[in-house]
Structure 1
Amino acid sequence: MDFMDDASTPEQVMIRRAKLKKSPINGSLELLPLCNMDCDICYVRLSPSEMKKKGRLRTADEWLKLARQMEKAGVLFLLLTGGEPLLYPDFKRLYLELRKMGMILTINTNGTLIDEEWAEFFGKHKPRRINITLYGAKEETYSSLCHYPGGFNKTIKGIQLLKEHDVDVKVSCSITKANYNDVKKIFSIGRELNVPVHIDPYMMPANRERYLPFAMQARVAPEEAAHISLDTLKLQFSDDIFRQYVEQSIARVNDPNFPRGDGHISCLAGNCSFTINWQGEMRPCVVMSEPSVPVFETGFDAAWKEICTSAQGMIINPKCTKCRLRPLCKVCVAASLLETGSYDGIPEYLCRYSEETYRLLLKEAKHYG
């Protein structure tokens, strides 16, 4: 989910200005690859033994030294993530020191570790928001998808505790074969807990599944993802708003003059946003493995300049830019890389997703007459 999706108006103004100036204002820090769950769809998690073979965790002092460089460069918004960030050994000290610097902090967590002590801490030292991933609406999903029995009830309890301490919470869910029947229930849970829900029907392939046929992957088939996408919008929009969405989407596809971009990165990645993984590699976004610069050794300013320059040269395939279905397609350089192994590859999954979305939109338009 793009940071701009729920940014306030002042935040949007600052971010747009930073994007135009190619100035870093937003970043994410992947504090560790460890997690108490083992989700089939994860592209980050390592076991402790796997992590030791690849490196060590950076200390809080190392992160804070880097953060002071970020502060001077104009970084204001930081996302703390993992793995499971609450497992980071010195999380509370790092969090409090970043807040003292004036950083506006958001946290991505699975929510299962949130107890009264954590809730009280975040209630006293409030983040901008805590994003909690809800992997399904029942315990069976957490057992089959996350291999973590009891995870559903722990997550719900964590959300409730945070709400009791007046902490802003948002629920996110990526759709898989294990949870696609839970969508309506997840929205219902959001209403019951009084928290917004973000459902993402398109999920990039996990590292461990990248080269498997679609049928063997944890994510749903592209045609199913298209169905779920529209069903999700129906749950969120009034009938009148959904009808407008259908009409406008069809019109954009059939309008040859509707902007389809120039193929360059159009989101924040590499324009005013970055990610730094647990090994200290700066990249344009969390799902991209390259370009990659060792930021602790290089220094923040030099690393950002290299990442920003490299990102400007990344372009999706010209066929994608010229495709009439481009207004419906979720293709970007990161998606192309993960789906095809190349930034300018044409991802079959997204082609099928877009084609089915358009077919369903036409069907909905006939329904409205």
Structure 2
Amino acid sequence: MHQIPFETTLERRMLSRAAQLGLPLNGSLELLPLCNMNCSMCYIRLSRAEMEQRGRLRTADEWLQLAEQMRDAGVLFLLLTGGEPLLFPNFRRLFRTLKEMGMILTINTNGTLLDEDWARFFGSCKPRRVNITLYGANEDAYASLCHYPGGFAKTLRAIRLLKEQGVDVKISASVTRDNLRDLEELYRIGRELGAPVTPDTYMLPGLHERGLPFAQQARLEPEQAAQAQWTVIRQEIPAEFLADYVRGKLQQTDAAAQYPDGITCMAGSCSFAVNWQGQMRPCVTLEEPSVPVFEVGFAQAWKQVSAGCKAFRLHPGCAACRLRPLCRTCVGSAWLETGRYDGKPGYLCRYAAELERLLRQYADDLEG
């Protein structure tokens, strides 16, 4: 269950304090489910016809009226996402007005629509950060995974344009079968562009792939995902600290511990998500509790969502599992993997077991 990444000590302290007090400091607004790409593993995207069968988009004015209530409740950090948020009608007016309200804004985008005009806009009205997903190190992945030929060049251009305008950019990467071979090259591209790269090796099952055998999904097999995570660890942890990191993780797995069986992230304690249909939820993956925020108002919706989160419990085996420090399980991933919030996600069991094997192999090699 991913939260918006906050990197400064002050922000972490603010979030920690807000979680203790149950105050909604951090939110995500899913403006629309539409996207100009059609990635195989996406769990959000709908066609326009599918969207119209399920509801309508909220207008910029409706979002801004809600934002006034959010501001009054103490919301400070907002992530604007989709779908592709730059497709949202009146996005610029919405963005500028939210910023004028004092909101600290981050944007998730695929970057392919970002031209000189968009870059100048964000240069003059800067977000906290723009998170751009890079789906591979060449055009092949954009053709096979995103069904969007030419997307690679457009994305690189977008990153360069934003950097020229002094906009902070982070490169996200969704690691799948189609781009696994590009993982180390993505880091090289990030260094060349002066933008940090944060790959996600565990992909939730895609909207149209849930229930399919792992081998038929766009995401990696569990063991492949763990091997990719080991690559990420070695890329991101300096060599002089890697041995201590590995030993620390293995010590955690060897310790007899009982882990929390409820929600351990900030979902429902200080964070929330509102989807394009106007349903407030604890995060983008959890479908319950779900409250129609435009109808009941922000304060009441937050109260219901925050209270409802306290009922969730993980599978008892997950709470007692010694591999929990290596596992990505949460009630959200359990729901998408098994159809139950307290389900035991076999995918993540295999992932954690393989990651432990790789760490122990490295530790054994050090002992030599």
1:38 is matched with 38
248-257 or 93-102, which deviates more: 248-257
2:303 is matched with 305
Partners of 1:11 and 1:3 in 2: how far apart? 13
Q: What displacement does 1:6 show? A: 3.6
1:203 is matched with 203
Partners of 2:3 and 2:49 in 1: how far apart? 33
Partners of 1:69 and 1:54 in 2: how far apart? 26
Matches within 5 A, 1:1-369: 2-3=2-3, 5-257=5-257, 260-369=258-367
Q: Contact 1:31–1:80 (CA<8 Å) still a contact in 2? A: yes
Q: What displacement does 1:349 show? A: 0.3
Question: What is the SS of the residue equivalent to 2:187?
Answer: helix
What is the Cα-based RMSD across aligned positions, in Å?
1.0
Q: What displacement does 1:316 show? A: 0.4
Question: What is the SS of the residue equivalent to 1:208?
Answer: coil
Query: In the alignment, residue 347 of structure 1 is paired with which amino acid?
Result: P
Question: What is the SS of the residue equivalent to 1:209?
Answer: coil
Superposed CA deviations along residues 157-212 of structure 1, whole A, max 9, x for unmatched, are 00000000000000001110000000011000000000000011111101211100
Partners of 1:3 and 1:131 in 2: how far apart? 13
Q: What displacement does 1:288 show? A: 1.7
Q: Contact 1:43–1:206 (CA<8 Å) still a contact in 2? A: yes
Question: What is the SS of the residue equivalent to 1:173?
Answer: strand
Partners of 1:201 and 1:194 in 2: how far apart? 22
Unmatched segments (≥5 aa) in structure 1: none
Question: What is the SS of the residue equivalent to 2:208?
Answer: helix
Q: Contact 2:107–2:129 (CA<8 Å) still a contact in 1? A: yes
Q: Contact 2:312–2:341 (CA<8 Å) still a contact in 1? A: yes
Q: What displacement does 1:245 show? A: 1.2
Length-normalised TM-score, structure 1: 0.98
Question: What is the SS of the residue equivalent to 2:332?
Answer: helix
Q: What displacement does 1:329 show? A: 0.9
Question: What is the SS of the residue equivalent to 1:250?
Answer: helix
Partners of 1:238 and 1:69 in 2: how far apart? 44
Q: Contact 1:203–1:219 (CA<8 Å) still a contact in 2? A: yes
Partners of 1:129 and 1:292 in 2: how far apart? 28
Q: Contact 2:291–2:305 (CA<8 Å) still a contact in 1? A: yes
**Identity over aligned pairs, percent:** 55
Q: What displacement does 1:5 show? A: 4.1
Q: Contact 1:4–1:12 (CA<8 Å) still a contact in 2? A: no
Q: Residues 4, 207 of structure 1: CA spacing in aligned structure 2 closer, same or farther, 3 A cutoff?
A: closer
Partners of 2:31 and 2:133 in 1: how far apart? 17
Query: In the alignment, residue 269 of structure 2 is paired with which amino acid?
Result: N
Partners of 2:293 and 2:79 in 1: how far apart? 17
Q: Residues 271, 248 of structure 1: CA spacing in aligned structure 2 closer, same or farther, 3 A cutoff?
A: same
Q: What displacement does 1:7 show? A: 2.5
Q: Residues 47, 24 of structure 1: CA spacing in aligned structure 2 closer, same or farther, 3 A cutoff?
A: same
Unmatched segments (≥5 aa) in structure 2: none
Query: In the alignment, residue 190 of structure 1 is paired with which amino acid?
Result: G
Q: What displacement does 1:4 show? A: 6.2
